[in-house]
Structure 1
Amino acid sequence: MGVRSGTSVDVYVGARISLRRSALGLSQTALAEELGVSFQQVQKYETGANRISASRLHRIATVLGTSVGAFFPPAESTVAGPDASGWLGRVRWLQATSEGRVLATAFPRIADVRTRRAVARVVAALARAG
């Protein structure tokens, strides 16, 4: 039996779960305990390495306080592959470091739109400066 990897939709769903979990301040371990699985299993779900059954996805949505549909891309969109060229790839790079996770979690909590734009400009300038 060969090793199978998740499809681009599996990767997208996993990334959305990871973003929602991080935004709520939950660790992979905390989510795993709520689901009755190991944190390694949550890691595999979040990377798209393992597919998620419908009942498990429903439980994840319930624990994370959202709908199952919130994890899926719009039907008319095409989902980027697991490379870094598409939106999903950039999100995965952001989630790959502790600093990126802090930024991804904190940024949506900035209430003032002008402040969010200023922060985005500063981050973009720092990235260009290398």
Structure 2
Amino acid sequence: MGVRSGNSVDAYVGARISLRRSALGLSQTALAGELGISFQQVQKYETGANRISASRLHRIAGVLGTSVGALFPPVDGRDEAPDTPDWLDRAQQLQASSEGRVLVTAFPRIEDVRLRRAVARVVAALARRG
């Protein structure tokens, strides 16, 4: 893996924050409230437009119930992250649309595991048809 520019790392970290926040069912406003900042600032962090200070990143990780390291890309192939860049790209594409954001927010809230699996099968079948 080559050297990453600051902007690509900022975007990666922001995307990981966005995915984790969405998986927990938190809105940008809710995360912002926990951090004592505006939701617009959370948006800027999640898109990589603004860099996040170390202390703020530590606080974000705490609120999201994860480690700071889990928000970063792997370095030189060590400590490989469980998510591949392709998966992260697809997740970012999903959140780029309002429909995708609805799915990302609502899906983890389906408590019945069988129903979640059924929804996933329906979405996969529809994607194959498209």
Distance in 2, matches of 1:15 and 1:21, equals 10
> Structure 1 stretches of 5 or more lacking a match?
81-85
Amino acid at match of 1:42: V
Q: What is the CA distance between 1:97 and its match in structure 2?
A: 2.6
Conserved? CA contact 1:6–1:48, under 8 Å = no
Distance in 1, matches of 2:72 and 2:112, equals 26
Question: 1:94: which partner in 2?
Answer: 94
Comparing 104-113 and 37-46, the one that deviates more: 104-113
Distance in 2, matches of 1:73 and 1:57, equals 14
Distance in 2, matches of 1:98 and 1:25, equals 15
TM-score by length of 1: 0.73
Q: Secondary structure at the match of 1:12?
A: helix
TM-score by length of 2: 0.73
Conserved? CA contact 1:17–1:46, under 8 Å = yes
Question: 2:34: which partner in 1?
Answer: 34
Task: Say whether residues 1:65 and 2:65 are aligned partners.
Answer: yes
Amino acid at match of 1:10: D
Distance in 2, matches of 1:125 and 1:47, equals 30
Q: Deviations over 1:44-102 (max 9, x none)?
A: 1001111111111001011112111111122216x85xxxxx43332111112333233
Distance in 2, matches of 1:112 and 1:74, equals 31
> Structure 2 stretches of 5 or more lacking a match?
none
